[in-house]
Amino acid sequence: MRWPWPVWAMAAACGPVTEADLRFGCPAGLVLSSDRCVVADGVAGGVEAGGEPDQPAPGADGAVARAPESDADPQPADSAEDGGGRAELPLPDGEPAPDGDLDAAVGDGPATQDGAATQDGAAAPDGDKADGDGGALDGADLAGPGDGSTPELPDVVLAGDGAADAGDIAAKDAASDIGAADVGDIAEKDTAGDVGASDGGDIDAAPICAPCNDGNPCTSGDCAQAGAPCAGQPLTEGAPCNDGNACTTGDVCKMGACAGGPPPPCSDNNPCTDDACKAPKGCAFTANAAVCDDGSLCTGGDQCAAGACKGKTALDCNDGNACTIDVCNAVAGCQHTAKAGPCDLGSVCQPGACSGALCKAGSPLDCNDANPCTSDSCSATAGCAHAATTLPCEDGDKCTSGDTCGSGKCVPAGPTVCNDANPCTDDGCLAATGCTFAANTAKCNDGDPCTTDDACTGGACLGKNAKDCADANDCTDDACVPFKGCVYTANTDPCNDGDACSVGESCDQLACKPLGVAVCSDSNPCTDDLCLPAVGCKATFNSAACDDGNPCTVGDGCAKGKCAPGTPAACDDGNPCTTDTCAKPAGCKNPPIANGTPCAPGKVCQAGQCN
């Protein structure tokens, strides 16, 4: 639906556009500038590019807005870049109407055709139709009085303005601009969405503006009306934004566009890369092959490769001294540290040893070949020499005897004899240790009648088991006297007669006799105690009456070996002026309650009595 002239003329002239207005954008023929809708360049009735504004006809309060002089919708002229401009709808003095206070009376010139502010020569009050009939705007108002003069429309009065406007709609305005669908009083305080009979067909709702994205980071609230391009409200000048270019920083809005700031610092502090910023992605670091310094004194010919500084040659730190360890330190360079170990002094018989980075004489060469049949010596050039002898020797075999040197070897004269005359050892000989006498387990006789199954153990003949002299009588001492045999002696030792209910048994003349009978009592009234010869004392549970020690229970009885409490003791003394309680160890108590406590109709407690 198109906006009737009074509605968008008010939006253009009344100052800043509200958030509700911006939801739908500016009407056709107007463009958004800062926070208000203004007439585009070249629109009839406004300020044409390079021209002067038309002089509006003053209304009753002197503030008017001019309607387009063409039936067609206003078309925007060239943009600001093309040299055009925009102008707000002027008041008589050329200034835009102040925000929130404008009476928009539209007209077609300084005066209507009949020379009066209205058709009948009088200014129509705001909100009334021009012909003064008091009703809604009708065809008669649009057609005029029939005398050829210009038809009139009602003045438009904004909230807070009680004056009437005298402007008329120009005669040449087309019916397409204000048609039957647009006719109706424009109420001062109607809200969006209340078009209907209740307010006489008021037109309050703006056309639907669909949310969209105009692609400009310096606008907000972007939306588009049907058939119109997507547009948004410009952000505040200098507002931060993002121009989409990683090679700019501090982007801000300038003249409705996002302007990039200075480039970012692109330095990775690597001499082996060429640093640059490449839009739109940002910093790029490209490897080079420049000469560089890898910071190590142990390399030479340093050059960049694959983005890193690498040395081509290694520093030679060999000082020719066998008594030093030669290494290279990246910071300090060649280092020569003294080491221990052998070195050459020019004599085979006198080897050298490193000490304090110097080669010094060490221990003489040991030419001992550990052969008793050679004479050992050393030559400075040839080294050790070993001459054969014929001296007595030891061939290392303990099982030979009479050994003598011959041809550099020790030769034995015969075997060694090994015999210890012990039947419990096996005699032998080991080359490394000589004669051996290993214990065996052969049967033998140790000569003692108190032992049986005699056998060799650990190289000696021993009886494995002592002879059993037991006679199954606790009242005898059974023993075996070595080389004599078993002996039985009567005793008076404690004994066991086999009856668990006997106590104090002891031996008397080879017999076990008790001193008395066991008394079985566990001091528990809830058990019955008895003695069984096979097991002794035994307690069984009973259900006898008992006393649990609590005076606040009565009728206590045994259960599972314990005295279980009975029923609570009756402590009620039938006196309403006492408190009935029970507690250990005293039992029931009936202390008087407070004097004056009601106890019966017309009676109170006094000293524990109801009076």
Q: Which of 198, 227, 259 is the endpoint of a domain?
A: 259
Q: Which amino acid, 565?
A: P
CB-based contact 203:4 (threshold 8 Å): yes
The structural domain count of the chain equals 3
In a domain, 519, yes or no: no
Evaluate whether residue 186 is within a structural domain: yes
What does the pLDDT look like over 506-558, one tens digit per residue? 999 889 999 989 899 889 999 999 999 989 999 999 999 998 889 999 999 99
Q: What is the pLDDT of residues 268-281, one digit of tens each?
A: 999 999 999 998 88
Q: How far apart are CA 530 and CA 527, in angstroms?
A: 10
Residues 11 and 153 in one domain: yes
Does residue 27 form part of some domain?
Answer: yes
> Does residue 603 lie within any of the structural domains?
yes
Say if 326 falls within a structural domain. Answer: no
In the beta sheet, which residues pair with residue 419? none
For residue 423, the model assigns a pLDDT of 86
Residue 486: is its pLDDT beyond 80? yes
Same domain flag for 148 and 14:
yes
| Pair 111, 163 in one domain | yes
Could you tell me if 242 and 112 lie in one domain? no
Q: What is the pTM of this model?
A: 0.27
Structure-block tokens of residue 154: 């009602």
| Judgement on whether residues 51 and 198 belong to the same structural domain of the protein | yes
Per-residue 3-state assignment (H helix, E strand, C coil) for 409-442: EEECCEECCCCCCCCCEEEEEECCCEEEEEECCC
Structure tokens of 429? 């000989």
Considering the domain architecture, whether residues 144 and 52 belong to the same structural domain is answered as: yes
In a shared domain, residues 55 and 101: yes
| Residue among 415, 63, 20 nearest 233 (CA) | 20
Instruction: Dump pLDDT digits (tens) for 444-480.
Output: 888 888 998 899 999 999 988 888 899 888 899 999 9
66 within domain boundaries: yes
By CB atoms closer than 10 A (0-12, 13-18, 19+), residue 326 is middle
- At residue 185, the pLDDT reads 37
Q: Does 231 lie in the same domain as 129?
A: no
Range of the domain at 180: 1-207
Q: What CA–CA distance (Å, rounded) separates 418 from 435?
A: 5
> Would you say residue 103 lies in a domain?
yes
Q: Does residue 64 sit in the same domain as residue 155?
A: yes
145: left (phi over 0), alpha (psi -120 to 50) or beta: alpha
Written as one string, the DSSP assignment of 439-468 is E---B---S-TTEEEEEEETTEEEEEEE--
347 pLDDT band, cuts 50/70/90, is: confident
Question: What percentage of the chain exceeds 70 in pLDDT?
Answer: 66
Task: State how far the Cα of 159 lies from the Cα of 236, in Å rounded to an integer.
Answer: 29
Which of these, 126, 141, 2, lies nearest to 71 by C-alpha position? 2
Spatial separation of the C-alpha atoms in residues 43 and 52, rounded to whole Å: 12
**Average pLDDT of the chain, as a whole number:** 73
Is pLDDT of 44 > 70? no
Which pLDDT does position 10 carry in this prediction? 36
